[in-house]
Structure 1
Amino acid sequence: MPPFASNVVLIAGGVGGARMAEGLARALPAGALTVIANVGDDDDFYGLRVCPDIDTLIYTLSDHIDRKQGWGVADDTVRALDVLGTLAAPTWMKLGDADFGLHIWRSWQLAAGNSLTKVTQEAAMRLGARARIVPASDDPVRTKLRTADGWMDFQPWFVGRRCEPEVLELRYDGAEKAKAGPEALAAIEAAELIVFAPSNPLLSIEPILAIDGFRAIIADSRAPKIGVSPLIGGKAVKGPLSRLMAGLGMRTSSSGVAMRYSGLLDGFAIDTQDLPEADELQGRGLSVLPTDILMRDPQDAERLAAEILAWTAVLQEHRKQAAS
């Protein structure tokens, strides 16, 4: 087991982040993993606080996830949503009945004065998640997208409009005023390894990095910092990343993703299909792990996590030898 296996931090959001979290949780000893979750997707529906990235992490790490769609609760029903539709309420946000239970409980606890961090950790513990999950901030941060139709909130664009309006600009409202969550900050300060999940860098990771001081906190950490590309052959495994990057004038490549994390990474894991990019990444001072980064199932996710852990241990040993 690598020397840092007792304290690993994963920066994550979305389905790709949840799969990486599951792989690391399976590959590491119990209690070794802390996942810092994106809150930029959070929104209110029917008076309830919904935290999609946090919930996907909780459901995945507790084996409640609907694996076919990658989000929501397995075998869930939509009777509550059917009633809302009958009452002429908008129902484009597909919330299942079991899912509603978590949103009701969270909203109740927040209204009682508990922090999002406390509520998230208690939900993860009670539902049986195999890792600590902490929100990046207890303060509201909301991803906004400027399209030809004007500025849109994230969920109406992502779910309501199925990512169809072309995105011309992004911003993360509230990030400049938000403070890093106390548990998230403590996790980074104590981390022996920091991993950036293969999440959408623009919609899942940068809302975290935009929080005041967060990027600097990670940059100052002495722990090795490893990124995992969300692209294979220039295409996103899941979601709108490729089209989003192209629309914003970015290179739709693993190198283009790594550029978003400039100054934060020591190494980057890319798919073997993207091996021609290795020289460019190494030219930027990054160590490169070319491997099969597609996580088809939990066993595949564990295999990738184990490869990353073993590779990072080798990098650490080389670093020590070079310093001696």
Structure 2
Amino acid sequence: MNITVIGGGVGCARFVKGVREHARRSGDDHRIDVVVNTADDWWVSGLRIAPDHDSLLYALAGVNDTARGWGRADETERVAAELHTWGTAPDWFTLGDLDLGTHIARTAWLRDGVSVSDVYRRLGARWDLGVTLHPATDAEIDTYVLPADGSDPLHFQEWWVRHRAQLPARGFVQRGVETAAPSAGALEAIARADVVLVAPSNPVVSVGPVLAVPGMRDALASASAPVIGVSGIISGAVVRGMADVCLTTIGVETSAAAVGRHYGSRSSGGLLDGWLVDTSDAGDVELLAASGVRARAVPLWMHDADTSAQLAADALAFASDVRRPPL
């Protein structure tokens, strides 16, 4: 089975690990591709930083810092302290020394003219990931936040890390997205997929920028595979991060039902053929059906390998049911 996942960040990494674990336990032949958000990327101290990609890379490689939720395990931060002293990096954004090694390698390749897709391949080849990562686009489409007071836009990372998403905002834009195109790997992964899974990532700044790349929605709309989304909202609260602030900024309620409606049904020009909500939100299934979104309630909490693999199995089972014509 060819499985393609769309998303980015820690929630996506946990979900993809569950998909990989389910594939390994099933014993079947699976190919897993992940189309990764690149709009969180930015330049620091002359280095290209890619947070969503690196969260996936490190988690799948088993070298991530599980306590902090980002970066490498067993890190030191001596180089970051020097960069802060020299004033070439903001003191509110700290990178570990091992992590900086990744960024230096990435930047060296990019400056040599290597595409982002090829950088992904080179970085992924170091470990047996069991998954192939593809950038949503090879173009730079960094997300900027529009402050509510009308002041100059901030890079998303400054708003997210420095201000903890507490600076009132009126919207988000991806600079350069109008002239971007999906990466060849992303398009191929969607075209060959037997199922497309939208990870429980931030709908606004992790999944949204992927969908904003011109041609990406068309590729998903024409895909023969069912598209199944997994809610990152449980009982009206975000599982991790500050997606609730992002949703409020674009006028979407923080609920599984509201995000499902935000994505919309593929039959009505939206994204989804099916939407998984948590059992605690089972009451939303009928509400979603009334708005044209087919939903199912299953346990969504990914506490460990077992629960994560089961969620992946539930998502694939839902896809199989969606693919079958109704009786």
Q: List aligned pairs for 1:26-41, cutoff 5 A.
A: 26-29=21-24, 32-41=31-40
In 1, are the aligned partners of 2:12 and 2:201 still within 8 Å (CA)?
A: yes
One of 6, 19, 23 as aligned partner of 1:24: 19
User: 3-state SS of the aligned residue for 2:178?
Assistant: coil
Q: List aligned pairs for 1:238-317, cutoff 5 A.
A: 238-262=240-264, 263-316=270-323
Match of 1:3 in 2: none
Match of 1:93 in 2: 93
Match of 2:267 in 1: none
Aligned residue type for 1:197: A
Counting aligned pairs with the same residue, the percent is 34
Shift in Å, 1:259:
2.3
C-alpha distance in 2, partners of 1:31/1:273?
31
Query: Deviation string for 1:41-67 (max 9, x for gaps)?
Result: 000111111110000010111111111
In 1, are the aligned partners of 2:34 and 2:132 still within 8 Å (CA)?
A: yes
Q: List aligned pairs for 1:50-129, cutoff 5 A.
A: 50-89=49-88, 90-129=90-129
C-alpha distance in 1, partners of 2:126/2:75?
19
> TM-score, normalised to structure 1's length?
0.93
Query: Deviation string for 1:177-204 (max 9, x for gaps)?
Result: 1010011111111111000000001000
C-alpha distance in 1, partners of 2:250/2:211?
19
Query: Deviation string for 1:108-133 (max 9, x for gaps)?
Result: 11111111001112211213322000
C-alpha distance in 2, partners of 1:200/1:121?
25
Question: Which ranges of structure 1 fall in alignment gaps of 5 or more residues?
Answer: 1-5
C-alpha distance in 1, partners of 2:291/2:193?
24
C-alpha distance in 2, partners of 1:83/1:257?
42
Match of 1:43 in 2: 42
User: 3-state SS of the aligned residue for 2:229?
Assistant: strand
- Structure 1 residues 69 and 297: CA distance shift in structure 2, 3 A: farther
User: C-alpha root-mean-square deviation of aligned residues, in Å?
Assistant: 1.5
In 2, are the aligned partners of 1:37 and 1:134 still within 8 Å (CA)?
A: yes
Shift in Å, 1:315:
3.1
Whether 1:198 and 2:200 are equivalent positions in the alignment is yes
In 1, are the aligned partners of 2:261 and 2:288 still within 8 Å (CA)?
A: no
User: 3-state SS of the aligned residue for 1:28?
Assistant: helix
Q: List aligned pairs for 1:142-221, cutoff 5 A.
A: 142-147=142-147, 148=149, 149-221=151-223
C-alpha distance in 2, partners of 1:45/1:206?
24
In 1, are the aligned partners of 2:143 and 2:175 still within 8 Å (CA)?
A: yes
Runs of 4+, deviation exceeding 6 Å: none
Query: Deviation string for 1:65-117 (max 9, x for gaps)?
Result: 11112211111111111222233442322210110010011111111111100
Shift in Å, 1:150:
3.6
Aligned residue type for 1:199: S
Match of 1:225 in 2: 227
Shift in Å, 1:226:
0.1
Which piece of structure 1 moves more, 136-145 or 279-288?
279-288
C-alpha distance in 2, partners of 1:297/1:66?
16
**Aligned residue pairs, count:** 315
Shift in Å, 1:31:
5.4
